[in-house]
Amino acid sequence: MFFRKFGEKIKTLFGGRKINEEFFEELEDTLIEGDLGARLTDEIVQSLRDIAKKEGLTEAADLQSRMRDILSQYVRSYDALPPKGELSVFMILGVNGVGKTTTIAKMAKYYTQKGLRVLLAAGDTFRAAAVDQLDIHAERLGMRIVKQKMGSDPGAVVFDAITSAQAQGDDLILADTAGRMHNKENLMKELQKMDKVIKAKGISEENYRKFLVIDATTGQNGLQQAMLFNQAVRLDGVILTKYDSAAKGGALVQIGRLLDLPVVFVCVGEKYDDIRPFDKEEYLSSLLGLDR
Ligand SMILES: Nc1nc2c(ncn2[C@@H]2O[C@H](COP(=O)(O)OP(=O)(O)OP(=O)(O)O)[C@@H](O)[C@H]2O)c(=O)[nH]1
Ligand SMILES: [Mg+2]
């Protein structure tokens, strides 16, 4: 389903041909194109060379499942179902335009259907219209929202949200955050402030999660973004959006390999139901053009 183009390319590359130098070179080019990055591509191709040599393989087709085994070590899924009856906070992070606010709306519906009481926190107070955007989702979905006016302190918004959720007996706060500020340093400082407030409000470590939203169409940048946010506020996982577009999504493998971060959800469209818990096996199959 996902990745069809890239998967088909891989499938064709491995199909009915001999293992030789030309094959490895083409594989290298294809992996780079698929957003796996130079470093990881080298690592994968070298491992496959070693396997082919050691086992005396001659058919490229024999290497396709071996590549799956290699990638399988790097990719993890993350089952993020918070417990009922105690308060969890998910802070949703990411640079501007990746799909944070839309994803929060999707998650709100998803978790409500799982029987949780969800509260939205409009933590992006920087961009004009950001609060309204979340507010419109809240209204459409019939969710409670805690908000303040544009320009107010996002730390104060999560503070209020936690107080309100505790009073109402909510199970989960989904906190929106800004994707952009005057500069990157400012943004990271604001996020660190929010992070401090959430911890100071006594939300336990197990119930507090920071998920980074990554836009599948931005390729290699996903890794840079993950490094940046992970450094500022230790991340717990990533959410991949816009996987329905002509995306390649190989950045997930890099993020898994280099930062050891699991994948929580994959979003495949603009509608509320276009969200799926990450399915590692399906992902690997589509990435490699395997049937399953
Ligand atoms: N095709 C597709 N579009 C998506 C998906 N997720 C979000 N979008 C679209 O991406 C655009 C940006 O989404 P937002 O949710 O506003 O992104 P954001 O990260 O909150 O952006 P800022 O608030 O500006 O930082 C919107 O037009 C969304 O409809 C997805 O999975 N697939
Ligand atoms: Mg937003």
CA–CA dist 55, 282 (Å, integer): 28
CA torsion 177-183-184-187 (nearest 10°) is -30
**Closest C-alpha to 288, from 18, 57, 70, 125:** 70
Q: Determine the distance separating the centroid of ligand 2 and the alpha carbon of 93, expressed in angstroms.
A: 10
What is the CA(105)–ligand 2 centre distance, in A?
10
Instruction: Place domain 88-288 in its CATH homologous superfamily.
Output: P-loop containing nucleotide triphosphate hydrolases (3.40.50.300)
Task: Give the Cα separation of 64 and 58 in Å (integer).
Answer: 12
**What's the confidence (pLDDT) of residue 1?**
42
Buried b (16+ CB within 10 A) or exposed e, 86-118: ebbbbbbbbbeebbbbbbbbbbbbbbbeeebbb
The pLDDT value recorded for residue 72 is 95
Of the residues 102, 244, 273, which should be mutated to test ligand 1's pocket, given the most ligand atoms within 8 Å of the CB? 102
- Which CATH superfamily is 4-74 part of? SRP54, nucleotide-binding domain (1.20.120.140)
Domain boundaries defined on the chain:
4-74, 88-288
Token pair 């294809």 is found at 30
Question: Residue 190 and residue 181: Cα distance in Å, rounded?
Answer: 9
Residues touching ligand 1 (Cβ under 6 Å) are 94, 96-102, 124, 127, 130, 179, 241-242, 244-245, 267-270, 274
Residue that has been written with the tokens 């999504």 in this structure: 249
Local confidence pLDDT in tens for the 292 residues of the chain? 445 677 888 888 998 899 999 999 999 999 998 888 899 999 999 999 999 999 999 999 999 989 999 999 999 999 999 999 999 999 999 999 999 999 999 999 999 999 999 999 999 999 889 999 999 999 999 999 999 999 999 999 999 999 999 999 999 999 999 998 788 899 999 999 999 999 999 999 999 999 999 998 887 789 999 999 999 999 999 999 998 876 667 888 999 999 999 999 999 999 999 999 999 998 888 888 887 6
Q: How much is the pLDDT for 218? A: 85
- The confidence score (pLDDT) of residue 221 equals 87
